[in-house]
Every structure is written in C-alpha cells, then in structure tokens.
C-alpha cells in the first residue's frame, strides 16, 4: 500500500512553496563561484535546519 503525502505550504517556515526562479538563482550562484567546492545548498524555505 502506497501512502500519499500532501504538500502543505503552511508547514514551511517561509509559508509558501519556492519557485523555479529561486532554485535557478541558487544554481547560478554555484556555477559562477569557482572557489566553492563540496557544499550542500538546501533551497527549502527553512524546512530543514541543521
């Protein structure tokens, strides 16, 4: 049995889902920066804090 999980933006600290433009900004930042290596960038509206 597969359980469906419904996404709810009110569970995200920012209070909304992110857009493609916001993800693209993070990707561009990584592409432009030749000095940064081995990093994990979480584009999640603050849902996961480490």
**2-30 tens-digit pLDDT:** 677 788 888 889 999 999 999 999 999 98
Question: What does the alpha-carbon distance between residue 48 and residue 33 come to, in Å, rounded to a whole number?
Answer: 24
Of residues 21 and 48, more confidence is placed in 21
For the entire predicted model, the pTM comes to: 0.65
DSSP annotation of 43 reads -
**What confidence tier does 39 reach under pLDDT thresholds 50, 70, 90?**
confident
Query: Is it the case that residue 50 has pLDDT exceeding 60?
Result: no
DSSP H or E run through 25: helix 20-32
pLDDT at res. 20:
95
Asked if 18 contacts 44 with a C-beta cutoff of 8 angstroms, the reply is: yes
């Amino acid at each position: 049995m597969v359980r469906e999980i419904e996404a709810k933006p009110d569970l995200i600290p920012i209070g909304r889902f992110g857009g493609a433009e916001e993800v693209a900004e993070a990707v561009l930042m990584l592409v432009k920066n030749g000095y940064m290596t081995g990093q994990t960038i979480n584009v999640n509206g603050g849902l996961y804090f480490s």
